[in-house]
């Protein structure tokens, strides 16, 4: 059975002593070469610590792990009742670590190469309609004061830009263009993109900015985050923003379970597609590396897609019926007969 995450330090010491690349070396590579976020690195560190503890109980380490041990670890996760998505995530961390060890020359094989990932059903995004979004913003505005204005600005920006919540909350003041019509966003993998800001979001920012410094601790006054706070990170955290949205939901007549910062990103993408936006443009705005990730939003646009087919497909237009091949052939024969009538052989 898998253990609760433990510190991998003992395994790291053995790895250093044997010449095997350590988990921390792997995490350093992920940060430097792949631009992994602190959140991703923390998740990988926990997953690898759990895997290493499992190996230790079997008298193994990463150098001696074989496919049977990896299969046994994954089976233990399933028996413990962990979701397939969690198991898949842990396997991804283990697979990348063993690949790193192999490429660095720590092993001559990769024990995860023959291990299949569990099938994870891809859930459709939770959706809010446009009336829900308006109700949320109005409920936040009704709270008034600095807290209410900050929440309105967060809601307007999330819905106007489709930013990931981590991208929004890490925004520095310098991300705002001079005329505030665009944001310069640092996304996954350290990739920058420019995202336009609509009028409503710009107006919400204008209202919020005079109150921004009230959220700064004295020692951080004047520092750069767009949404600062007195937390240890120096900016509003995603956990706190999620909590604020859950508290706001009943005031907007929405079930708290339906709302999260990420749901606003889903609403941004879905409502753009409803309005006829190009899928490639939505992909660029969301910062998706692969358009297949963006395409999930097309699965929640059933009514719109049915209307498009009904309006534009030749066999679906009102009053048009498909012609049979036999009927078409008969008409063609009659036309030929009429054209040749009276001609001599």
Residues labelled catalytic = 164, 188, 262, 265, 288, 297
**CB 15: neighbour CB atoms within 10 A?**
23
- CA-to-CA distance for 125 and 266, rounded, in angstroms? 6
Q: Say if residues 265 and 293 touch (Cβ distance below 8 Å).
A: no
- CA-to-CA distance for 149 and 155, rounded, in angstroms? 10
**CB 191: neighbour CB atoms within 10 A?**
11
**Residue 153 tokens, joined:** 């600005």
Question: Three-state SS for 183?
Answer: strand
**CB 189: neighbour CB atoms within 10 A?**
12
Q: ∠ CA 83-118-187 to the nearest 5 degrees?
A: 75
Find the radius of gyration of the CA atoms of the chain.
28
Provide φ and ψ at 176, rounded to 5°. -80, 125
Q: Say if residues 116 and 71 touch (Cβ distance below 8 Å).
A: no
Orientation of helix 145-161 relative to helix 261-274, angle to 10°: 40
- CA-to-CA distance for 199 and 209, rounded, in angstroms? 15
Paired with 194 in beta bridges are: 184
Paired with 172 in beta bridges are: 225
Orientation of helix 130-143 relative to helix 238-248, angle to 10°: 100
Nearest of 51, 40, 46 to residue 1 by alpha carbon: 51
Taking every pair of Cα atoms in the chain, the longest distance, rounded to a whole number of angstroms, is 106
């Amino acid at each position: 059975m898998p253990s609760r995450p433990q510190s991998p330090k003992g395994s790291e010491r053995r790895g250093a002593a044997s010449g095997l690349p350590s988990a921390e070396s792997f995490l350093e590579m992920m940060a430097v070469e792949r631009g992994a976020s602190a959140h991703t690195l923390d998740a990988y560190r926990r997953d690898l610590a759990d895997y290493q503890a499992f190996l230790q109980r079997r008298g193994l380490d990463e150098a001696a792990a074989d496919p049977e041990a990896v299969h046994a670890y994954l089976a233990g996760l399933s028996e413990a009742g962990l979701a397939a998505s969690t198991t898949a995530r842990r396997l991804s961390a283990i697979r990348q670590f063993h690949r790193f060890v192999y490429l660095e020359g720590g092993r001559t094989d990769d024990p995860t190469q023959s291990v299949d990932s569990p099938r994870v059903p891809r859930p459709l995004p939770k959706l809010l309609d446009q009336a829900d979004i308006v109700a949320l913003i109005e409920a936040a505005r009704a709270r008034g004061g600095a807290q209410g204005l900050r929440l309105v600005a967060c809601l307007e920006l999330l819905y106007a830009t489709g930013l990931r919540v981590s991208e929004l909350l890490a925004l520095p003041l310098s991300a705002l263009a001079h005329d505030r019509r665009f944001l310069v966003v640092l996304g996954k993998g350290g990739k920058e993109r420019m995202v336009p800001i609509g009028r409503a979001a710009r107006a919400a920012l204008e209202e919020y900015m005079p109150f921004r410094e009230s959220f700064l601790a004295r020692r951080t006054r004047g520092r750069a985050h767009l949404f600062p706070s007195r937390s240890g990170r120096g900016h509003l955290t995603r956990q706190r923003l999620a909590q604020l949205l859950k508290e706001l939901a009943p005031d907007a007549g929405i079930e708290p379970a339906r709302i999260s910062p990420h749901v606003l990103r889903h609403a941004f993408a879905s409502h753009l597609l409803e309005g006829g936006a190009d899928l490639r443009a939505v992909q660029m705005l969301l910062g998706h590396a692969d358009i297949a990730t963006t395409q999930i939003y097309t699965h929640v646009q059933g009514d719109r897609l049915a209307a498009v087919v009904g309006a534009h497909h030749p066999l679906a237009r009102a009053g048009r019926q498909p012609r049979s091949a036999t009927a078409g052939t008969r008409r063609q024969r009659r036309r030929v007969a009429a054209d040749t009538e009276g001609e001599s052989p």
